[in-house]
Chain A
Amino acid sequence: MSDESKRPPHDLGGLAGGPIDTDEHEPTFWEQRIDALQVLLGDKVRRIIDTAELRRGIESLGPEAYDTLSYYERWAASIAAVLVEKGVVTEGELDRRAAEIRARREGAQ
């Protein structure tokens, strides 16, 4: 019924898969921060990014990014895209700041 070639990358139910890796992974501080970003942006006070928008942003990353980025990297990419779309931040601001932080980190080492 559904055209397989049009299956979006997140719609996984029923596909063949391999063994499930049950290793525990404690969230890193960076991952907690990304989670907190969405919690805050989606809360009742701000209502800047709805869960549905976060999901749509993740689903729009394309199959390659969906399969290769880590879970919270997908979140970060989606949140950034929606924030830019809504004019909360610009792409230029994000790029400049990311470069600054990278330089700060590298300088500190």
Chain B
Amino acid sequence: MAEQTHQHRPPRPDDPEPTSDYHFLGLAMRELLIEKGVFTADEERRAIEAMEARSPAGGARVVARAWTDPDYKARLLADAAAAARELGIDIGPTRLVVVENTAEVHNVVVCTLCSCYPRMLLGLPPAWYKSANYRKRVVREPRAVLAEFGTTIAERVEVRVHDSTADMRYLVVPLRPAGAEGWSEAQLAALVTRDSMVGVAPALSPDAASSARD
């Protein structure tokens, strides 16, 4: 099974064939760098596999544990890298800050200058996170942006925007939804979406999660 997911797959048939000069430039670089011994084709393959192995499931495990274990949550907020390691997730040299949504504060993450994102826990960022419109607007009208994602935050709750401008990466622990009392960590993790860990949406409600499965 693990073997299967680590198999290198050929380019997907729906991948557009390179057409722009930049596409050929990119392919030229990789060929030349491999020929010059800067890296090997095998190293390239493994880098892509590692990239594909990282997904929001990693972040969701961390959040589900934080929901069920207050001591773990305290460790996570104090030293996120060490807390991720406890679950067998190595975030490498990434400096991670975990912020918690509460009844008083709702957190949302952006990188206005480029596309900094906690890739070790969420995988590659979605297109909207890298888009000019998100980067322009979320710092100045966060509630309007959240509304476009279907998220309404009460006026009395502070919306706190985190602009990842330097060496830190941010993960949001969303509020634990009601109606999932007594759920296992694995069940809870299924409620923790990528968008909830960026802060543009709440975690799924148990109802929404079960209707999504139907």
Which residues on A are within 8 Å of B, measured CB to CB?
A: 10-25, 27-30, 32-37, 39-41, 44, 46, 48, 55, 58, 67, 69-73, 76-77, 79-80, 83, 88-89, 93-94, 97-102, 105
* B127-A25 in contact (CB<8A): yes
Ordered by A's residue number, 18 sampled pairs between the chains whose C-beta atoms are within 8 Å are A10-B114, A12-B112, A12-B132, A14-B139, A20-B133, A23-B127, A29-B11, A40-B44, A41-B39, A46-B39, A58-B114, A76-B23, A88-B33, A94-B29, A94-B32, A97-B32, A101-B18, A102-B24
In Å, the complex CA distance between A71 and B136 comes to: 16
Nearest Cβ on chain B to A43's Cβ, whole angstroms: 9
* B48-A89 in contact (CB<8A): no
Decide yes or no: A37 and B113 within 8 Å by CB, A30-B23, A46-B38, A69-B22 being known contacts: no
Nearest Cβ on chain A to B6's Cβ, whole angstroms: 15
Task: Say yes or no: is B21 at the interface (Cβ < 8 Å to chain A).
Answer: yes
In Å, the complex CA distance between A60 and B174 comes to: 37
Contacts of A20 in B (CB 8 A): 128, 131, 133-134, 137, 145, 148-149
Contacts of B51 in A (CB 8 A): 32, 35-36, 39
For the A-B complex with A12-B132, A24-B126, A40-B43 known, give 11 more contacts whose Cβ atoms are closer than 8 Å: A13-B139, A14-B140, A20-B149, A22-B128, A23-B128, A27-B124, A30-B26, A67-B132, A76-B22, A76-B23, A89-B36
